[in-house]
Amino acid sequence: MRSIFLTCILLAGMSWASAQRANYDVVPQPKSVRTDTAQVFTLRSGMGIAFDNNDAELSRTAGFLCQWVEEATGIRLMLTPDDKQAAIRLALEAPAGRKVRKSVKVAPPTEQQLEGYTLEVNASGVDIRAQKQVGLFRAAQTLRKSLPVGQTQSVGLPFTRIADQPRFVYRGLLLDCARHFFTVDVIKQFIDVMALHGCNQFHWHLTDDQGWRFEVKSLPRLASEGSVREKTVIGPGNMRIYDNIPYGGYYTQEDCREIVRYAAERYINVVPEIDMPGHMMGALHVFPNLGCTGGPYPVAPHWGVMRDVLCGGNPETLDFLKTVFGELCDVFPSRFIHIGGDECPKDCWRKCPKCQAKIEELGLKDDGRHSPENQLQTYLNHEIEQFLASRGRSLIGWDEILAGGLTEDAIVMSWRGTKGGIEAAKQHHRVIMSPNVYAYIDHPQLKDYSRQPRTTDSYQVSCSKIYSFEPLVPDALTEEEQNCILGVQANLWTEQVAFPEHAFYQLLPRLAAMSEVQWCRPDQKNFEDFRRRLPRLEQFYDRLGVQYCKQVE
């Protein structure tokens, strides 16, 4: 009896002791981790985080780290400029000096290397070093995720040396705020969650048939009227049963600037999308003269692909688009601007005298690969590409922009599988892979649809499915072509997702699976190992108070 009692105490003691230890088995897994679990540095309240306090950006990251340590463990650290007193030291370092003969050219660091960092724990504490501020932030996130979650007096940090950098430069997540509107506060939570997973591109889907959500100051009715649909279809699929409740909401330019600022502080770029020339019912409702038939057009109360699109032959269409993209560029500093381009049926264009006259004027002929109407879409894309280039930006479009021939600098976001991405990479265009069967997290994550909230329901996109995705498609692309793949993105469309709790449930933990596709090299990836590391990350979801699916398939 006594020995059972002692064993229980010993076991309890062991679990207590191990609970107070940091563990570097984080998600996404760093590139290299060499840990000596026999030795620890003990972190306690009152210890310092040192950094150059003349550096405001570094000071902000140090502040985040201080906050995260306290949130996770209750340990209160102090910010200090004094290295000697500090347990954690954050510092920028010059690129490692390599002695080379003058004649030898040294390749400049890649963007991935510039996001890299080292994190070393030894008897004198924690040293975090990076060439760029972003690297220090990523390192601080790794240290955060290594901490045990729960109030404690001290944490033993096993000695380690972590050297890390992401695999891809573009690590995106799309949130559709057109089908359903999410408040600025919810979007900030999204951005916090993205930062926790090392994502760096927030693709903000701002306009669609069901609502225009970006304030254009010179066209104020777009937001005030184009954002409101009279009712919303309810029920699964596209059954035409409506709730008869008006639904609206839009982001002022101030809101957008606030999101851009908040994201930038977390080293996330905001890629805004204005979807054109299809998915435009919000705008057509306000400006029916921009449609081929003249309307009237309701803001769409149901989902799907609408037949009515912007008229490709009306010169006012381009004036309108340049006004919109002009204000978009004023608000969003992103070097990437998304112009949509998907699902634009050409029925109206085929019948429209203005569209046909424009096709005639431009001399667009069916060349066996590209119909004249698809080429007319390319003409619009080209005009917008030139406009964006004059503002120093590059255009991203969904893979339908291949149909009329790509414009010179277009970046293709491949969503209908990887086919479009492969075709674009073979043409040496930059590509972001976001294939629906691996990346559409509006789909169910569990096999049993009845055990989860309603979703888009044609196929399952499980964690393991996402995890298995290899974005470079080496079977189809040469090494040179693979260099065109900038990265990977998960997309959360929200036809069926009306509330933040549901959105986070759809997102998590699938974003964790996607984050390893985005961050880790294939030889590092192992789904069973990912599953083993996931529960520790989920403790952070709990801390952040966000919903997630508790089952992983």
Does residue 445 sit in helix, strand or coil?
Answer: coil
The mark string for 301-340 relative to ligand ACM (x by CB under 6 A, - otherwise) is: ----------------------------------------
Q: Give yes or no for residue 419 binding ligand ACM (CB under 6 A).
A: no
Of residues 379 and 398, the one with the C-beta less far from ligand ACM: 398
d(CA 155, CA 126): 13
- Contact with ligand ACM (CB under 6 A): which of 202, 212, 349, 398? 398
Going by C-beta distance under 8 Å and a sequence separation of 6 or more, which residues neighbour residue 481? Answer: 425, 426, 428
Cα distances (Å, whole numbers) of residue 117 to 144, 169, 385, 391, 499: 15, 15, 35, 32, 37
Going by C-beta distance under 8 Å and a sequence separation of 6 or more, which residues neighbour residue 255? Answer: 184, 215
The mark string for 349-378 relative to Zn ion (x by CB under 5 A, - otherwise) is: ---x-xx-----------------------
Query: Which residues form the catalytic set?
Result: 208, 279, 343
Radius of gyration of the chain (CA): 25
338: closest CA among 223, 428, 523, 203? 203
Write the single-letter amino acid at 92.
L
Of residues 134 and 380, the one with the C-beta less far from ligand ACM: 380
SS3 content of the chain, % helix, strand, coil (to 5): 40, 20, 40
User: Where are the alpha helices (H) located in 161-252, listed in sequence order?
Assistant: 184-196, 221-224
Q: Give yes or no for residue 342 binding ligand ACM (CB under 6 A).
A: yes
- Contact with Zn ion (CB under 5 A): which of 86, 271, 311, 473? 311
28: closest CA among 542, 474, 509, 415? 509
For 293-351, give the DSSP string. Answer: S----PPPSS-S--S--B-SS-HHHHHHHHHHHHHHHHH---SEEEEE--S---HHHHH
The mark string for 89-108 relative to Zn ion (x by CB under 5 A, - otherwise) is: --------------------
Query: In the bound complex, what is the minimum distance in angstroms from residue 302's beta carbon to ligand ACM?
Result: 16
- Contact with ligand ACM (CB under 6 A): which of 68, 204, 332, 415? 415
Write the single-letter amino acid at 278.
G
Of residues 143 and 344, the one with the C-beta less far from Zn ion: 344
d(CA 489, CA 415): 10
Out of ligand ACM, Zn ion, none, what residue 403 binds, judged by CB under 5 to 8 A for its kind, is none
Out of ligand ACM, Zn ion, none, what residue 342 binds, judged by CB under 5 to 8 A for its kind, is ligand ACM
Out of ligand ACM, Zn ion, none, what residue 343 binds, judged by CB under 5 to 8 A for its kind, is ligand ACM
Query: In the bound complex, what is the minimum distance in angstroms from residue 374's beta carbon to ligand ACM?
Result: 16
Out of Zn ion, ligand ACM, none, what residue 126 binds, judged by CB under 5 to 8 A for its kind, is none
Q: Give yes or no for residue 437 binding ligand ACM (CB under 6 A).
A: no
Out of Zn ion, ligand ACM, none, what residue 415 binds, judged by CB under 5 to 8 A for its kind, is ligand ACM
Out of ligand ACM, Zn ion, none, what residue 352 binds, judged by CB under 5 to 8 A for its kind, is Zn ion
